[in-house]
Structure 1
Amino acid sequence: MTRARADGLGPLAIEAHGLVKRFDGTLAVDGVDISVPEGAIYGILGPNGAGKTTTLRMLLGIIDPDEGVRRVFGNDRPHEVAKLIGYLPEERGLYPAMKCDEAIAFMGALRGLPLAEGKARGREMLENYGLGHAVDRQIRQLSKGMAQTVQLLGTLVHRPRLVVFDEPFSGLDAINQGKLESMIRNLASSGTTVIFSTHVIHHAERLCDEVAIIAGGKVPYAGSVDAARDRIPAQVRLETRRSDGAWRDALPADARHDAKAEGSHFWYFPVPDSGIEALLKRLIEGEAGILSLSIERAGLHDAFVEIAGAAAARALAEDNAQGEAR
C-alpha cells in the first residue's frame, strides 16, 4: 500500500526516518530523514564518502539500518516490492561473454520478467537508444560507455515504478550524459519515480524537483531545489559608468565594487529590503550612468555551500575534478 505524504500533496514512493548505519563501529549514516514523492526526480547530493551509497542501499533493503525505518511504496520490507524497482549501482558489471540483448534480458529476469520477453524488449531498447548495431555483440567487445548503457537499459527493461541510480553520470561522455538526462525526464513524465545520487551539482540543478544534501552522514537539508536556492538572498548586479557621486548612498554599505574596465564599474549586493524600484530611482536621479542592472538568483552550488559548509563544498569540487581527469 502506497503511503500518502504528510503534507497532503500526494503519495510517497520512499520515506525514511532516523536511518543510522555503522560499519565496524564507524558511523556512516547518522539519522537520515528522506521523503520522495511518487513521480518525482529526486537527487541525493554530496561528496564521495558522505553516505550516499549506504543511504540508497538501506532505502532499497540491500542492507538493514541499525536504527530507523524506511518504506518503499508503503512497505517496510523493500525486498518484497523488488519487482517494482530498478537499481543501477555505482560499481557496475556484466557477464563479458553475454550478448547485449542477453545481458538486458538476464537483468530483467532477476526482477521477474520472462527471458524471452526481456530479450525482445532489450532489442527494441537498444534500437531506440541508437545501439541496434550492437545487439549481437558480446559485452567484452563494447566500449566502456556502451557497456554502461547496456546495464542502464537492463535496469529499466522490466518497466519499474521506481528507478534508483547511484552516480549514473560517472564515466559517461557529454553526449551520453545528455541522453541519460533525457531518459530520466521521460521516465518521470511517464509517472516513474527517479532517485539518483551525484556529486555533480549541475545534474541535480537541471533535473531534480527535490534534493537531499548529505554531508558527513547527515542530511542538513531535504526539500525542493527552489527552496534551497531561496535560502540565499537574490543578488543585484549593477553596472555603472560613474564610480562615485551622491547616488552611492543608495547602495548598501557592504556592496562589492569591481572595476572590470575603464569607464565601467560593477557593484554586487543583496536586493534591498525597500525593493529595487526605490534604488533605481535614486540611481537615475543621481546620474550614476546605469549601463546594466540585473537580479541574479543564487544557484544550487551557492545553496550547497551555505547548507553543507565550505569543507563539504571543497570535497565536492575535488570529486568533480577527479571525475573529469578520468
Structure 2
Amino acid sequence: MLAIDGLAKRFGTATALDGVTFQVRPGEVFGFVGGNGAGKTTTMRIVLGVLEPDAGCVTWNGDPLDAGVRRRIGYLPEERGLYPKMRVGEQLVYLARLHGMSRQAARESVLRWTGRVGLADRRGDEVQKLSLGNQQRVQLCAALAHDPDLLVLDEPFSGLDPAAVDTLGEVLRERAAAGIPVIFSSHQLELVERLCDRVGIISAGRMAAVGTVDELRSGSAVCYDVTGPPAGWADGLPGVRVLTTDGIRTRVELEPGTDDQKLLAAALAAGPVHAFGPYRPPLTELYRDAVADRPGIPGTGVAAS
C-alpha cells in the first residue's frame, strides 16, 4: 500500500502542498484530480523521489520509500521523457533494463506491451517520427515494461484516441486486478469516474475530498429529476425546492424528511410523468462543489482513506 501522510511543500513564498494525506491500496485504481497548479504533479514527484517534501512522508507497505522500492515503480510523467532520436524498441528495452530486467526478459516484455498498445509496427521507428499520441503510447509501455509493483501515471490519457483510451483503461483495471496499486491524474473526469475505485480531489495544495464517487455523493442534497408535467407544477410544494426546469424536465431538491412519493403524486396530478428518479450528480459536478467548498460536499478528510 502507498501511503501519503501530511505532505507539505513550498517553492519560495508559494505553497504547493499543505498537509496532503491519502492512501492507494493494493488492487485499487485511484484517480487524483485537481486544477492546474493544484499539487498533483508535485505530489507524484515526491513519491518518485524527484522532490523532497518540507514535511510529511511517503511510505510503501509501512516503510519509507528507498531506491529499491522506487525502482519497482512504473512512472509516466506529464511531460515527454523520451529520447527523440532513439528507436522505440531499442529505447524501451534500455529503460526496462535500467529497472533491473535481463536483456531477454526486457525484449519479451517490450514485444508484448508494444503489441498490446498498437505499436507493433513502429518498434523500429525513431520516437521523433511518431505522432504525439503514439509517443504517449511509448511512454505507457516504458511505465509497464518492467512489471512494476506500483503505477504512478501523470495524465496518461493525454493525446490518446478513443481506441487507445479504452485499451489503457483495460490495462489499468487488469493491473489492479493483479493486486497492483494504480494512481493516475487526469482532467478527463468522465474517465476517472468510470475507471477508478476511489477519487482524491486536490485544490490549492489541500485535499478537498477523498472517497468513492458514491461516498462523495452521500454528502449531496437529495435531488430528483421529473420529466413530463408542465413548468411550474412543483412551485410551492412543501419541502421541495425547484433547482432547474426547461418546461419538460424539472430537477428539485428535497428537504430532509420530505416524502418522495408525495412528490411523485403531485407530479402525476399535474400531468403525465414520463420519468421520475433520484439525480446522481456526476464526478464533474462533485468536483466543482468540492473545490468551491460548497455546503453539502464534505471537505478535507471525506471518507477515511
Q: TM-score, normalization: structure 2?
A: 0.87
- Partner in structure 1 of residue 251 of structure 2: 268
- AA in 1 matched with 2:210: A
- Partner in structure 1 of residue 99 of structure 2: 111
**Runs of 5+ consecutive residues of structure 1 not aligned to the other structure:** 1-12, 312-326
Q: Mean alpha-carbon deviation: is it higher for 251-260 or for 123-132?
A: 251-260
Which of 213, 219, 242 is the matching residue for 1:255?
A: 242
> Residues 249 and 22 of structure 1: is their aligned pair in 2 closer, same or farther, counting only changes over 3 Å?
closer
- Say yes or no: does 1:208 pair with 2:192: no
> Residues 275 and 105 of structure 1: is their aligned pair in 2 closer, same or farther, counting only changes over 3 Å?
farther
CA–CA separation in structure 1 for the residues paired with 2:282 and 2:216: 9
- AA in 2 matched with 1:57: R
- Say yes or no: does 1:127 pair with 2:127: no
Preserved contact between residue 252 and residue 269 of structure 1 (Cα < 8 Å): no
Cα deviation digits, residues 147-187 of structure 1 (max 9, x gap): 22112111111111110001111222233222222221121
CA–CA separation in structure 1 for the residues paired with 2:254 and 2:2: 38
- AA in 1 matched with 2:111: R
- Say yes or no: does 1:295 pair with 2:278: yes
Cα deviation digits, residues 269-314 of structure 1 (max 9, x gap): 1245333223323444x35432332222111122112211189xxx
> Residues 291 and 124 of structure 1: is their aligned pair in 2 closer, same or farther, counting only changes over 3 Å?
closer
- Say yes or no: does 1:152 pair with 2:135: no
- Say yes or no: does 1:172 pair with 2:156: no
Preserved contact between residue 72 and residue 78 of structure 1 (Cα < 8 Å): no
CA drift at 1:248:
5.7
CA drift at 1:83:
2.8
Which of 302, 307, 312 is the matching residue for 2:290?
A: 307
- Say yes or no: does 1:58 pair with 2:42: no
CA–CA separation in structure 2 for the residues paired with 1:258 and 1:116: 63
- AA in 2 matched with 1:278: K
Q: TM-score, normalization: structure 1?
A: 0.82
Which of 18, 32, 38 is the matching residue for 1:44?
A: 32
Preserved contact between residue 100 and residue 134 of structure 1 (Cα < 8 Å): yes
Preserved contact between residue 21 and residue 29 of structure 1 (Cα < 8 Å): yes
CA–CA separation in structure 1 for the residues paired with 2:109 and 2:232: 69
CA–CA separation in structure 2 for the residues paired with 1:283 and 1:87: 53
- AA in 2 matched with 1:133: D
Q: How many residues align?
A: 293
CA–CA separation in structure 1 for the residues paired with 2:25 and 2:161: 30
CA drift at 1:255:
1.6
Which of 72, 75, 83 is the matching residue for 1:95?
A: 83
> Residues 289 and 151 of structure 1: is their aligned pair in 2 closer, same or farther, counting only changes over 3 Å?
closer
> Residues 75 and 60 of structure 1: is their aligned pair in 2 closer, same or farther, counting only changes over 3 Å?
farther
- Say yes or no: does 1:35 pair with 2:23: yes
**Runs of 5+ consecutive residues of structure 2 not aligned to the other structure:** 295-305
CA–CA separation in structure 1 for the residues paired with 2:244 and 2:146: 57
> Residues 259 and 225 of structure 1: is their aligned pair in 2 closer, same or farther, counting only changes over 3 Å?
closer
- Say yes or no: does 1:72 pair with 2:60: yes
- Say yes or no: does 1:181 pair with 2:169: yes
RMSD: 2.3
CA drift at 1:251:
5.7
